[in-house]
């Protein structure tokens, strides 16, 4: 039995565009008073929703409860760029690839998670929020092209299909001649992330009880685990923590999780004439040749640009930082879309990524009947779904073969001691972003 006080709880600021363009959600149900459940999940992002849905399949007659500090879709799950990527995607590397064995396993596991999301989208009628569209990689420089050729060779060695695109073809798709070439890979699904995660929560609501705006301030583990929120308390014999980097706030994986934020801006809706001036296709998502560059998405009449990573060990950003980085987005946007002039951004936001130095997730049983799925290294739409789903399998004792694969993965390694982290991490991010040059 042990006590875990939350040293901090999440407080994401700034309305994300993905959340902002959806209709307002129904009023939240806040956890008040004392409750009991058979299964308790803390965190309603991709991992929490996947754990809840998988449990509802494995133990359909048991009481499953999810608690989140914020509204569903308000946290990182509704703030991301929505690329649900099947292929290797090492953000810390130079060309997204890793070793062959590692990458084959990664692809198999990522695809299982994409299928799980696809089945949720089918079951709950969320096809508008989940589209198997594939992703483009765009190179803005000759160096970027070399990186993409490297990536293509890696895909060839893995037997994975791709299409090489030249600048004019990319212009037909994106409307801009900013890119000198690119690579298309077909297996990525594109999500409206806030729409998808909110839709899954809504779809689950007849089988799973979800409390929102209910920050968990402490956990007491034992025969029955008890979770205390600001206004209530709930006990259950089995607990799954899907709180991403906030695992560390409860004292788990201390000094092993790296808290980084990344940022996005979304334009206002473009008029018909602005869309005509832009040209290109209405829906596409493009990842930069350099992992530190700018991700761009067009979703019909709006464009979203994401770039810049900052090291925020206190797990929060603020309006000032979001605004400062917004000016960087504007420069990246105008460089790519000069034909759109000074079109303003309607939404700007930042969100929390949890990384580990060895790109390993936080997964497994950390205390008796306390399971975790988090730290998805910036790929949580897919890997959060994967580890959330597998945490449910592990907790329910099912014999899903990927549970063993996940348990065999390394755990996050220790970070470097202070002051190396607080000096080194921002410097390394700065240098990597500088290296991205025009891809930024």
Ligand X SMILES: Cc1cc2nc3c(=O)[nH]c(=O)nc-3n(C[C@H](O)[C@H](O)[C@H](O)COP(=O)(O)OP(=O)(O)OC[C@H]3O[C@@H](n4cnc5c(N)ncnc54)[C@H](O)[C@@H]3O)c2cc1C
What stretches of 318-416 show up as alpha helix (H) in DSSP? 319-336, 380-396, 401-407
CB nearer to ligand X: give 47 or 170: 47
Q: Binding of ligand X at residue 107 (CB under 6 A)?
A: no
- For residue 271, the minimal CB distance to ligand X (Å) is 26
Three-state DSSP at 107 gives helix
Structure tokens given for 2: 């042990």
Q: Binding of ligand X at residue 75 (CB under 6 A)?
A: yes
Q: Binding of ligand X at residue 76 (CB under 6 A)?
A: yes
Give how many residues touch ligand X by CB under 6 A: 42
* Residue among 80, 117, 226, 308 that touches ligand X (CB under 6 A): 80
- For residue 394, the minimal CB distance to ligand X (Å) is 16
Beta-sheet pairing, 370-374 with 238-241? parallel
Q: Binding of ligand X at residue 47 (CB under 6 A)?
A: yes
Q: Binding of ligand X at residue 79 (CB under 6 A)?
A: yes
Q: Binding of ligand X at residue 77 (CB under 6 A)?
A: yes
* Integer Cα distance of 225 and 212 in angstroms: 19
CB nearer to ligand X: give 165 or 382: 382
- For residue 351, the minimal CB distance to ligand X (Å) is 2
Q: Which long-range contacts (CB under 8 A, 24 or more apart) does 223-232 make?
A: 223/1, 225/40, 225/369, 225/370, 227/40, 227/42, 227/67, 229/31, 229/67, 231/30, 231/31, 231/32, 232/30, 232/31, 232/32, 232/33, 232/34, 232/35
* Residue among 41, 112, 145, 243 that touches ligand X (CB under 6 A): 243
CB nearer to ligand X: give 180 or 247: 247
Q: Give the residue carrying structure tokens 């956890």.
A: 31
Please say whether the beta carbons of 297 and 284 come within 8 A.
yes
Q: Binding of ligand X at residue 90 (CB under 6 A)?
A: no
In 3D space, the residue among 363, 378, 417, 350 whose CA is nearest the CA of residue 83 turns out to be 378
Q: Kindly identify the residues of this chain, within the stretch 194-223, that bind ligand X according to CB under 6 A.
A: 215-216
Say how many C-beta atoms besides its own lie within 10 A of residue 282's C-beta.
10
Output the CA–CA distances (angstroms, integers) from residue 198 to 126, 278, 285, 397, in the order listed: 10, 31, 21, 28
Residue span binding ligand X (CB under 6 A) among the ranges 6-14, 144-152, 171-179, 364-372: 6-14
* Residue among 148, 201, 305, 376 that touches ligand X (CB under 6 A): 376
Q: Binding of ligand X at residue 288 (CB under 6 A)?
A: no
What stretches of 397-419 show up as alpha helix (H) in DSSP? 401-407
Q: Give the residue carrying structure tokens 């299964």.
A: 39
Q: Kindly identify the residues of this chain, within the stretch 345-374, that bind ligand X according to CB under 6 A.
A: 351-353, 374
Rounded to a whole number of angstroms, the distance between the first and last alpha carbons of the chain is 49
Q: Binding of ligand X at residue 240 (CB under 6 A)?
A: no
* Residue among 31, 37, 82, 212 that touches ligand X (CB under 6 A): 82
- Residues found near ligand X in the complex (CB under 6 A): 6, 9-10, 42-48, 67-70, 75-77, 79-83, 215-216, 242-244, 246, 262, 264, 306, 351-353, 374, 376, 378-382, 384
């Amino acid at each position: 039995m042990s006590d875990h006080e939350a040293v901090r709880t999440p407080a994401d600021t700034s309305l994300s565009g993905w959340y902002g363009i959806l209709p307002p959600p129904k009023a939240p149900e806040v956890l008040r008073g004392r409750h009991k459940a058979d299964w308790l999940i803390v965190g309603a992002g991709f991992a929490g929703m996947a754990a809840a849905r998988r449990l509802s399949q494995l133990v359909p007659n048991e009481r499953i409860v999810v608690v989140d500090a914020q509204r569903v879709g308000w946290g990182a799950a509704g703030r991301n760029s929505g690329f649900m990527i099947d292929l290797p995607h090492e953000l810390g590397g130079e060309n997204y690839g890793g070793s062959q064995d590692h990458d084959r396993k990664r692809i198999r596991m990522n695809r299982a998670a994409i299928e799980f999301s696809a089945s949720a989208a089918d079951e709950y009628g969320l096809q508008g929020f989940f589209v198997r569209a594939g992703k483009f990689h765009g190179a803005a420089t000759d160096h970027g092209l070399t990186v993409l050729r490297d990536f293509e060779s890696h895909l060839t060695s893995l037997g994975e299909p791709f299409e090489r695109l030249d600048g004019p073809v990319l212009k037909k798709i994106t409307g801009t001649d900013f890119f000198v070439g690119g690579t298309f890979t077909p297996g990525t699904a594109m999500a409206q992330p806030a729409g998808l995660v909110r839709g899954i929560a809504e779809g689950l609501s007849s089988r799973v009880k979800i409390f929102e705006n209910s920050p968990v301030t402490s956990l007491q583990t034992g025969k029955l685990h008890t979770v205390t929120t600001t206004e209530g308390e709930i006990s259950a014999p089995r607990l799954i923590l899907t709180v991403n980097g906030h695992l560390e706030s409860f004292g788990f994986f201390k000094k092993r999780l790296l808290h980084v934020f990344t940022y996005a801006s979304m334009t206002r809706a473009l008029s018909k004439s602005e869309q005509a001036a832009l040209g290109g296709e209405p829906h596409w998502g493009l990842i930069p040749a350099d992992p530190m560059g700018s991700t761009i998405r067009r979703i019909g009449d709006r464009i979203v640009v994401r770039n810049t990573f900052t090291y925020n060990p206190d797990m929060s950003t603020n309006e000032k930082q979001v605004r400062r980085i917004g000016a960087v987005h504007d420069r990246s946007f105008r460089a790519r879309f000069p034909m759109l002039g000074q079109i303003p951004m309607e939404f700007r936001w930042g969100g929390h990524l949890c990384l580990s130095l060895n790109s390993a997730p936080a997964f497994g049983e950390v205390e008796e009947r306390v399971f975790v799925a988090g730290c998805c290294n910036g790929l949580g739409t897919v890997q959060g779904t994967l580890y959330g789903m597998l945490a449910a399998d592990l907790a329910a004792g099912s014999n899903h073969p990927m549970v063993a694969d996940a348990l065999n993965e390394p755990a996050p390694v220790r970070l470097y001691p202070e002051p190396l982290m607080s000096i080194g991490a921002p410097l390394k991010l700065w240098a990597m972003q500088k290296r991205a040059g025009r891809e930024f």
